[in-house]
Chain A
Amino acid sequence: MISLVWKDLYSGRLMILLGIAMFGGIFVLGVLTGSEEIAMYAMNIANVYSMMMVPFFALNSAANEEKNRTLALLRGMPISPKRIVASKFVAALLVGVLWSLISVIAVSLGASLFPGAAGRALPPTPFLGPYQMALTLPIAAVTLIAFFKWNSSAARTAIMTLWVALYIVPTVFRPAGISMTEFYLKIMSPTPSAISIVLVVSLAIYFLGMLVAQEIFARRELA
């Protein structure tokens, strides 16, 4: 399975490298100019990318597979359908972990380089990146299930629908008397225990999604 995961990481390397270049370039610019605002902007990029990386890497990888019609190539080789599915889930998760690490390092570095920004412009915790990444794992799982059940067009529809839901659903559960801005700030200022719970639950959903996708793909006939 390592070669399948590596293949996905290699195929999607531009997405990862572009993200690193964007974040790194702006961060270095902030440090060189001593601009707290630019450095903070770079850290926000790192955090936002943590949120986007797993679902969009998964979607990109699925779309590439479909464009090249290589699922049939893989199924013609001695590779079990379950392994093919697992590799997609593992590769996307690895990318998410990588970006989470980058965001943790960025925020920690920002806090040491710009101590005045702590508690003001800096994210409330260096672990906001991993937390945001974890929030999107269920979206990535459904995206990949849609791909293995139907195609990348269904996966694209799933990702767009769920992304909108990620913003709308919390409003339904918003406690009375709290504005949307206050509520989102609260969600994005998680306590360490909230981060742990979200990580565990999201990972569980993600791997459950993987099992569902494996069952679906093992039964699917390929043209």
Chain B
Amino acid sequence: MDNVAIQLSGVSKSYPGFELEDVSFQLPGGYIMGLVGPNGAGKTTIIRIMMNLARADSGQVSIFGLDNVAHENEVKRRIGYVPEHHNFYDEMTVGWMARFVRQYYPSWDQSYFDALAARFGIDVNKKAGALSKGNRSKLSLALAMAHRPELLILDEPTSGLDPVVRRELLAELLDFMGDGERSVLFSTHITSDLDRVADYITIIVDGRIHASDEKDVLLERARKDEPTASIEDILISAARGGEAR
């Protein structure tokens, strides 16, 4: 495939008590992939390896066809990253954070950031430390999207958020995908989010890829045995040691 946003080949990483083993999958450009698995399955480790925040023991990660370590800055300029924990300079204002972040992204669109902040109801004069959890998530997403990245990598972006905020964030994601040239990798254990937005699903359990395919293909396979099967059912079956689909 010519247009591949993310390609992981045989990525392994071990920590005491945890092993990520031979992880391979790819996300074609222009699609949303849900990376789903139980807590502790290895979703965040995969994302940290992709962002070069952790180093793989073996295997290769390429993003936009480039090695993510050798071309780290070049790759990161084209990525919007929302980590699991939304870390900001808490004593600084939202506006200051945006001015700081924008200096590292040549494609930063200030009017788009302002529009996102207004749409999300974030006061740019407020200190980042004074924001609620939901608003911290929204700020993180706004900062990640304001340079109009080709790829968004979101690590549990909806975790701990109320349903209203979750729905707003997911709507924003779909809006972001509007021109069909952008891609999203979205890690979550809330499978209902994926039902709404994902094109591809990768299921990871205990550090191993259980399945990785188009969402509809996965559902079709699962529904041969269980006509009402959902992504959640596939995940539960995988977590209980079910056969890979």
Contact = CB atoms under 8 A, between A and B. Distances in A.
Contacts of A68: 87-90
A70 B89 contact: yes
B77 interface: yes
A80 B83 contact: no
B101 A72 contact: no
Interface residues of B, number: 25
A77 B104 contact: yes
A75 B81 CA distance: 11
Interface in A52-104: 64, 67-70, 72-73, 75-80
Interface string A110-153: 00000000000000000000000000000000000000000000
For A7, A73, A76, A219, the residue with the greatest tally of chain B CB atoms inside 10 Å of its CB is A76
B51 A221 contact: no
A70 B88 CA distance: 6
A193 interface: no
B76 interface: yes
B73 A78 contact: yes
Contacts of A79: 73, 104
B53 A75 contact: yes
A11 interface: yes
Contact of A70 (B72, B74, B77, B87): B87
Nearest to A222: B53
B87 A11 contact: no
Instruction: State the majority secondary structure of interface residues on A.
Output: helix
B161 interface: no
Contacts of B100: 3, 7
B27 to A, nearest CB: 19
A26 B129 CA distance: 35
A80 B55 contact: no
Contact of B83 (A64, A72, A219, A221): A72
Contacts of A221: 48, 53-55
B103 interface: yes
A76 B83 contact: yes
A67 B103 CA distance: 23
A3 B103 contact: yes
Nearest to B155: A76
Interface string A1-23: 00100010001000000000000
Interface of A: 3, 7, 11, 64, 67-70, 72-73, 75-80, 219, 221-222
